[in-house]
A and B are shown apart, each in its own frame.
Chain A
Amino acid sequence: MEIIQVLSYGILLGGLYSLLSSGLALIFGVLDIVNVAQGAFLVSGAFLTWQIWDLTGIEPILLIPVVALLWFGLGIIIYRTLFVRVAPQGPSMTVLLSFGLALIIEGALNLIFGNKFKSVQTSYSLQSYKLGEINFPAPQVIASLAAAVVLVLLYLYLMLSWAGRALRATAQNRDGAALIGISHRKISSFAYGLGMATAGAGGVLISVSYPIYPATHYEWISKLLGIIVLGGMGSIPGAIIGSMLLGIVEAAGNTYAPQWTILFFYGVIILSLLFKPEGLLGARSRKDSV
C-alpha cells in the first residue's frame, strides 16, 4: 500500500514539475538559452498571486490566465530589450544575462515583500481526499490537475496553431524554418514569452501548494534544470518524463528517508548524466541527423 501511496504522490509532484519544466525546455529548444531566470519568474508569479489573493480573497486558481498573460507580455518585452542584443554572443552570455535577471527579481521581491514566508490559505488548504487507504492532500491534487490542464492546452496550441508549428519547426531545424519564411526574431521573442507564461501559470500553482519566499527560486531552478538536463534539454516530452521520474524519486525519498531526499534527487540526475550525458531524449543529437 505504501508503494502505491509513494507512486501517487510522485505522480502528483511530477505533474506539477512537468508544467514548470516544459517552459524551460521550450525556451532552450527554440532559442538555445538556458533560462536560469525561470525559477525567479515562477516565484514572482507566486508572489503576484499571493498579493492579489491577499487583497481580494479570490480563489487563486482562477488567476492562472491573468498571470500567464501578463508574464507572456513581460517575456516578450524582456526578450526584445535585453536578449536580442546578447543572443548573438552565444549561450554562455545569455545564461549569465538570465542569471542577472534572476538576482534582480530576487532582490526586488525581497524589498517589496520582505524576507518572510508567505502562503495562500484557501478553503482546501488543509483538506485531503481519500481513496481507500491512500491519502491525497487537496492543494497538491488541485495544483497537479490544473498543471495537467495547462499542459494539455499548451500541447494543443503547439500542435495545432500556426505559431505553435512555427515554434516546433524552429526548434527542430532553425535554418529550415528561415527557409520557409519564419522570422527568427519574431519567433524568438514569442517563444520566450510563451516560456515565461508557463512560469506565470506555474507560479499560481506553487502559491497554493508551497510556502513562498524569494530565495526559493534557487531551489526551483536547480530542480527544473536537473529535470530538463535529465530529459534532454530542448525536449518537452523529455521534460515530462524527467519530471515524473524525479517526482517519484522525491516522493520515495520523502517517505523513506526524508533528510536525504535532495541527495536522492540529485543522485539520480548525476548518475544518469554520467551514463547518458545527452539526457534521456537527447533532442540535440537527433536534430543533426536530418
Chain B
Amino acid sequence: MSNSALTLKNVFAGYGGGMVLQGLDLEVRKGSITCIVGPNGAGKSTVFRVISGLLKASEGDVLLAGESIKSLSPAEILENGVTQVPQSRALFPEMSVKENILMGGYLIRKNPKLLKERMAMVEEMIPIVRERASQPAGHLSGGQRRMVEIARTLILDPSLILMDEPSLGLDPKSVALVSELIKRMTKDGRTVLLIEQNVRLGMYLANDGVVMEAGKVRISAPAKDIAGDPEVASMYLGKTK
C-alpha cells in the first residue's frame, strides 16, 4: 500500500555532548537510490547509526516498510533485511574473499542450502567473487574490497542497503564499476540509501536526493534538481561572486 521503504519521523539523536539529529524527517521510496549529501558534521553518518540500531533515537520513530524498528537491536534490524556497507574496514583481512562473503551469511548459517544458492547468485552478479575466491581480503585493492563488501551484504538478500561514501578513496575506474553495480542492485527491487560528500557523483547515481544541514533535512527533491541547485554548491564552497 505504502510505497515507502524507510521513513524517519522527527528523529532526535545524539551522543554525550548533544543532539546531532534535530528533528529529522526522511522518506525513502521503495526501489529507489536515495543519496544524502551535506557538509561535514551535518549528521549524515548519525542517520545511518540510527537506522541500523547502533544509536537509539531519543525522540521520533524509524519505520521500515511501515513497521517501527526503533526499539530493535542491531542484529534484529539486520535480520529484517537492512544491511550496511561502511566507509572503510568492513572485511576480515586474513580470510579469503569467499570466506568473507560466506561470513556475510552468518545469520542464515543454519540453512546451508539457501546459503549455497545465494552464494551462486552473488558470484553470478559480481564476478570478482569467483575470480579472487581464495585470495585474502587484505591483499585486495580498494575498489576490489568495495565490491566484496557489497557482495557480502547481498548474500542476506537485503531489502534496504545503506552505503556510507562508497566512492571514498577509489580511483575513477573503480568508482564507475561500483556505481554500475549500485544501479544494478535496485533492478531487483532493492532500495539503496547512500551518503556521499561528492554531490555530483551522488546525484548522478541517485534518483532522489536529500540535502542535510545541522541535523535536519534542508532540501528533499529529485536528484537532478539538487544537482543543479546553486544553494547546494554554496553550502560547500561559500557564495561565489
Contact = CB atoms under 8 A, between A and B. Distances in A.
Nearest to A165: B103
A180 interface: yes
Contacts of B75: 181, 183
Q: Which of B78, B92, B102 is packed against the most chain A CB atoms within 10 Å?
A: B92
Contacts of B93: 172-173, 286-287, 289-290
B168 to A, nearest CB: 14
A142 interface: no
Interface residues of B, number: 24
A240 to B, nearest CB: 15
B124 interface: no
Given A175-B89, A176-B89, A181 B106 contact: yes
A173 B88 CA distance: 11
Give the interface size bracket for A toward B.
20 to 34
A169 B103 contact: yes
A290 B89 contact: yes
A179 interface: yes
A182 interface: yes
B29 to A, nearest CB: 25
Contacts of A178: 74
Contact of B79 (A181, A182, A286): A181
B154 to A, nearest CB: 12
A172 to B, nearest CB: 4
A289 B79 CA distance: 29
Interface string A151-172: 0000000000010011011001
Contacts of B123: none
Given A179-B86, A286-B93, A290-B93, A165 B99 contact: yes
B78 A290 contact: no
B109 A290 contact: no
B225 interface: no
A105 B92 CA distance: 37
A173 B91 CA distance: 7
A247 B79 CA distance: 48
B138 interface: yes
A290 B142 CA distance: 9
A175 B152 CA distance: 15
Given A173-B89, A289-B138, A290-B138, A182 B94 contact: no
Contact of A176 (B78, B91, B109): B91
B170 to A, nearest CB: 15
B106 A162 contact: yes
Interface string A259-290: 00000000000000000000000000011011
Interface in B70-97: 74-75, 78-79, 84, 86, 89-95
14 contacts: A162-B106, A165-B95, A168-B92, A168-B94, A169-B92, A172-B94, A179-B84, A179-B86, A180-B106, A182-B106, A287-B93, A289-B138, A290-B89, A290-B138
Interface of B: 74-75, 78-79, 84, 86, 89-95, 99, 102-104, 106-107, 109, 137-138, 145, 152
Q: Which 9 pairs show the lowest CB-CB distances between chains A and B?
A: A290-B93, A172-B92, A181-B107, A181-B75, A181-B78, A162-B109, A176-B90, A169-B92, A290-B138
